[in-house]
Amino acid sequence: MTKFRENNHLVGYLFTAPFIIGFLIFTMFPMLASLYYSFTDYNLFEAPNWVGFDNYKTMFSGDDQYWKSVRVTFTYVLASVPLRLAFALAVAMLLNKAIGGIGLYRSAYYLPSLIGGSVAVSIMWTQVFGDKGLLNSFLGLLGIHTTTSWIGSPGTAIWTLIALSVWQFGSSMLIFLAGLKSIPASLHEAANVDGAGAGRRFFKITLPMLSPIILFNLIMQTISAFMTFTPAYVISRGEGGPLDSTLLYSLYLYKRAFQFTQMGYASAMAWVMLLTVGVIALILFQTSKYWVHYESKGES
Amino acid sequence: MKKITTTLVAASLMIGLAACGSGNNGGNASNAAASGSAGSTGSAGSSASATAKTDDKPVTVRVAWWGGQSRHDYTLKVIDMYEKLHPNVTIEPEYAAFDDYWKKLAPQAAANQLPDVIQMDISYLNQYAGRNQLADLTPYTESGKLDVSSVAEPTLAGGKIDGKLYAMNAGSNALTMMVDPAMLKSLGIEEPAADKGWTWDEFAALGDKAKAEGKLLFSDLRHDVFFPFYLRGQGQLMYAADGTKLGYDDDKFFIDYYTKYREWYNKGYTMSLDKLSQSKGTPEEDLVALGTALSSNQWSNQFIGISTAAKRELDLLPVPGWDSNKALFLKPSMYFTVANSSKVKDAAIDFINYFINDVEANKVILGERGVPVSSKVQEAIRPNLTPEQTKVFDYVAWAEKNSSEMNPPNPVGAVEVDALLKAEVEKILYKQVTVEKGAAEFREKANAILAKNK
B residues 105..124 contacting A (CB < 8 A): 106-107, 109-110
Q: What's the sign of the alpha-carbon dihedral B398, B399, B402, B406?
A: negative
Task: For residues A7 and B167, give the distance between their C-alpha atoms in angstroms, rounded to a whole number.
Answer: 63
Give the per-residue pLDDT at B324: 61
Residue range A146-202, pLDDT digits in tens: 777 888 888 888 998 898 888 888 888 888 988 888 888 888 888 888 887 888 888
DSSP states along B263-332: HHHHTT-B--HHHHTT----GGG-HHHHTSBSEEEEETTHHHHHHHHHTS--EEEEPP-SSSS----EEE
Say if the Cβ atoms of A45 and B127 lie within 8 Å.
yes
Give the per-residue pLDDT at B415: 87
Say which of B106, B131, B430 has its CB closest to residue A258.
B106
A residues 118..147 contacting B (CB < 8 A): 126, 130-131
DSSP states along A160-178: HHHHHHHH--HHHHHHHHH
**B128, B338 contact by CB (below 8 A):** no
Looking at CA atoms only, how far is residue A157 from chain B in angstroms?
10
The topology (CATH level 3) of B174-330+405-453 is D-Maltodextrin-Binding Protein; domain 2 (3.40.190)
Give the per-residue pLDDT at A44: 82
Residue range A22-65, pLDDT digits in tens: 999 999 999 999 999 999 998 888 888 899 898 999 888 888 88
Chain B residues near residue A263 by CB distance under 8 angstroms: 110
> Who's near A7: CB < 8 A, 6+ residues apart?
none
Q: Minimal CA–CA distance to B146: which of B380, B378, B348, B381?
A: B348
Give the per-residue pLDDT at B5: 45
**B109, B393 contact by CB (below 8 A):** no
Higher-pLDDT residue of B209, A115? B209
Say which of A44, A131, A259 has its CB closest to residue B107.
A44
Task: For residues B260 and B196, give the distance between their C-alpha atoms in angstroms, rounded to a whole number.
Answer: 22
Phi, psi torsion values for A236, nearest 5 degrees: -95, 10
Chain A residues near residue B448 by CB distance under 8 angstroms: 62
Q: Is A156 on the interface with B (CB under 8 A)?
A: no
Say which of A131, A154, A237 has its CB closest to residue B430.
A154
Task: For residues B62 and B40, give the distance between their C-alpha atoms in angstroms, rounded to a whole number.
Answer: 20
Higher-pLDDT residue of B363, A100? B363
Say if the Cβ atoms of A261 and B106 lie within 8 Å.
yes
Could you tell me what percent of chain A has a pLDDT over 90? 32
**A213, A176 contact by CB (below 8 A):** yes
Q: Which residue of A has its CA nearest to B133?
A: A45
Give the per-residue pLDDT at B420: 92
Q: What are the residue ranges of helices labelled H in chain A?
A: 2-23, 29-37, 54-61, 64-95, 102-116, 119-129, 134-141, 157-167, 170-181, 185-193, 198-201, 207-226, 230-235, 249-254, 263-291
Give the per-residue pLDDT at A4: 56
Q: Which residue of A has its CA nearest to B110?
A: A44
Task: For residues B116 and B398, give the distance between their C-alpha atoms in angstroms, rounded to a whole number.
Answer: 35
Say if the Cβ atoms of B278 and A126 lie within 8 Å.
yes
What residue ranges do the domains of chain B occupy? 56-173+331-401, 174-330+405-453
Give the per-residue pLDDT at A181: 87
Tell me if residue B337 falls in helix, strand or coil.
Answer: strand
Task: For residues B219 and B217, give the distance between their C-alpha atoms in angstroms, rounded to a whole number.
Answer: 7
> Who's near A286: CB < 8 A, 6+ residues apart?
none
Angle subtended by helix axes A102-116 and A170-181, to nearest 10: 140
Q: Minimal CA–CA distance to B80: which of B364, B372, B338?
A: B364
Q: Is A242 on the interface with B (CB under 8 A)?
A: yes
Q: Can you name the residues that pair with B179 across neighbouring β-strands? A: B295, B315
Say which of B131, B278, B426 has its CB closest to residue A151.
B278
> Who's near B187: CB < 8 A, 6+ residues apart?
B209, B210, B213, B215, B294
Amino acid at B260: K
Q: What is the ipTM of this complex?
A: 0.77
Q: What mean pLDDT do residues A224-253 have?
A: 87
Please provide the CATH number assigned to the domain covering B56-173+331-401. 3.40.190.10
Of the listed ranges A12-16, A154-158, A239-243, B45-49, the least confidently predicted one is B45-49
Q: Compute the C-alpha angle A184/A189/A193, nearest 5°.
A: 155
B residues 412..441 contacting A (CB < 8 A): 415-416, 419, 423, 426-427, 430, 432
> Who's near A110: CB < 8 A, 6+ residues apart?
A170, A171, A173, A174
Task: For residues A136 and B351, give the distance between their C-alpha atoms in angstroms, rounded to a whole number.
Answer: 52
Chain A residues near residue B276 by CB distance under 8 angstroms: 152
Chain A residues near residue B103 by CB distance under 8 angstroms: 258-259
* Distance between start and end Cα atoms, chain B: 79
CA distances from B307 to B290, B310, B311 (A): 10, 5, 6
Say if the Cβ atoms of A239 and B427 lie within 8 Å.
no
A residues 252..291 contacting B (CB < 8 A): 255, 258-261, 263
Mutate to test the interface with A, among B118, B271, B278, B421 (most CBs of A within 10 A): B278
Say if the Cβ atoms of A258 and B103 lie within 8 Å.
yes
Residue range A267-298, pLDDT digits in tens: 999 999 999 999 999 999 898 888 888 776 54
Q: Which residue of A has its CA nearest to B128?
A: A45
Chain B residues near residue A236 by CB distance under 8 angstroms: 277
Mutate to test the interface with B, among A72, A126, A261 (most CBs of B within 10 A): A261
Q: Minimal CA–CA distance to B415: which of B453, B372, B367, B368?
A: B453
Go through B310-327 and write b for each residue having 16 or more CB atoms within 10 A of its CB, e for each that does not.
beeebbbbbbbbbeeeeb
Q: What are the residue ranges of helices labelled H in B144-266?
A: 153-157, 181-186, 200-204, 207-212, 223-233, 252-266
Q: Minimal CA–CA distance to B228: which of B170, B281, B175, B273?
A: B175
The conformational region for residue B278 under phi > 0 = left, psi -120 to 50 = alpha, else beta, is alpha
Quick check: bond before A18 cis, omega within 30?
A: no
> Who's near B272: CB < 8 A, 6+ residues apart?
A152
Chain B residues near residue A154 by CB distance under 8 angstroms: 430
Say if the Cβ atoms of A237 and B107 lie within 8 Å.
no
Looking at CA atoms only, how far is residue A199 from chain B in angstroms?
41
> Who's near B107: CB < 8 A, 6+ residues apart?
A44, A258
Q: Minimal CA–CA distance to A261: which of B122, B116, B128, B244?
A: B128
Instruction: Compute the radius of gyration of chain B from its Cα atoms.
Output: 25
Q: Which residue of A has its CA nearest to B109?
A: A45
Task: For residues A11 and A65, give the distance between their C-alpha atoms in angstroms, rounded to a whole number.
Answer: 52
Task: For residues B330 and B393, give the distance between their C-alpha atoms in angstroms, rounded to a whole number.
Answer: 12
Say if the Cβ atoms of A242 and B274 lie within 8 Å.
yes
Give the A:B interface size as CB pairs under 8 Å: 75
Task: For residues B414 and B421, give the distance between their C-alpha atoms in angstroms, rounded to a whole number.
Answer: 10
pLDDT per position in chain B (454 positions), as tens?
445 444 444 444 444 443 343 333 333 333 333 333 333 333 333 333 334 444 578 999 999 999 877 788 899 999 999 999 999 999 999 998 887 898 889 889 888 899 999 999 988 898 898 888 999 999 999 998 899 888 888 888 888 888 889 999 999 999 999 999 888 888 888 888 877 888 888 888 888 888 888 888 899 999 999 999 999 888 888 998 888 999 998 999 999 999 999 999 998 899 988 888 777 777 778 888 888 898 999 999 888 888 888 888 888 998 887 656 678 888 899 999 999 999 998 999 999 999 999 988 998 888 888 899 998 898 899 888 888 889 999 999 888 888 888 888 888 888 889 999 999 999 999 988 999 999 999 999 999 999 988 8
**A149, B277 contact by CB (below 8 A):** yes
Q: Is B133 on the interface with A (CB under 8 A)?
A: yes
